Amino acid sequence: MNLNNLSCKSARNICIVKTLAKLGHFPTRTTEKEAWFLSPLRSETQASFSVSLIKNLWFDFGLGTGGNTIDLIMLMKSWSVRETLEFLKNDMSSLSFSPPNIEPISKEPEISILDVQIIHLKALIDYLHSRNIPYEIGRKYCTQVWYRCRGKRFFALGLENYKRGWELRNKYFKTSSRPKTFSFFERQSKQLIITEGMFDFLSLATIDEDLVQNSDCIILNSLAFLERIKMLIPKYEKALLYLDNDPAGKKAAGSLLNQFQNVTDCSNSYCDYIDLNEKLKAEKSLTLK
């Protein structure tokens, strides 16, 4: 192919994942919509370089920058646009991008809460133990919730949120009832703890119950609710973050650190794990060996 005929527009249709493979870089984790790599632009031990399999765009969360195939190769090789196009010109067919076929997501089924009880079912107690959460901790902050979904009756551990909806977890399902928002334990403390999910919070209570008992606590239940809790942060002398050690969690933590002087990122305490519960489960496994 003549270089003059290879425009930047056509080069952008070259698959980033295939191009990275050609250069010796392969994903450490792949989902339906994203592939995660150790950054080809810098040294790291935990993948924070994301490639959208839908849009064929990359983003390096460590550098805070992203772009298309041309942008990436130019940065990796310190090449000009012309040098990059020269490199790509013979691989237009083999590296062509085609988005995956993803079935449309069906509407989430309506969940109705039937009963709320103290946790007593063995299946839920065993589930807590499998996550290395003591029964006493689980019972203190969660309840046993019976709910109906698609005409069938189920039970789960339930954590009530700020608007009386429920986060629901058992060994097989992770769901929630409406309205969905963050959970909030308010104790008139000057210190705020922010965790990402239910089991992050239960894990922290297991590791340091005094810290949890002497702090106001927010469980986001989803990073999507981060904006809703930002207005609460300034009223505290200190806000401690326990978000996931993944690109989304790191990006959220970085955003809060940039906006608020009273925020401390505590993720270093579980830096080798994706979240607090993974660390807690790993410690249990080591104890049993």
CATH of range 182-288; options 1.10.287.3510, 3.30.70.20, 3.40.1360.10, 3.30.499.10 = 3.40.1360.10
Residue 151 burial (10 A CB sphere; 0-12, 13-18, 19+)? exposed
Report the alpha-carbon distance of residue 171 to residue 155 in Å, rounded. Answer: 10
Confidence of residue 213 (pLDDT cuts 50, 70, 90): very high
Predicted local distance difference test score (pLDDT) of residue 257: 95
CATH of range 8-89; options 3.40.640.10, 3.90.580.10, 3.10.129.10, 3.50.40.10 = 3.90.580.10
> What strands lie across the sheet with 263-265, from one edge to the other?
183-185, 216-219, 191-195, 238-242, 263-265
With 70 as the cut, is the pLDDT of residue 211 above it?
A: yes
169-181 pLDDT, tens digit per residue, is 999 889 999 999 9
CATH 3.40.1360.10 region(s) of the chain? 182-288
Q: What is the pTM of this model?
A: 0.65
CB atoms within 10 A of CB 176: 21
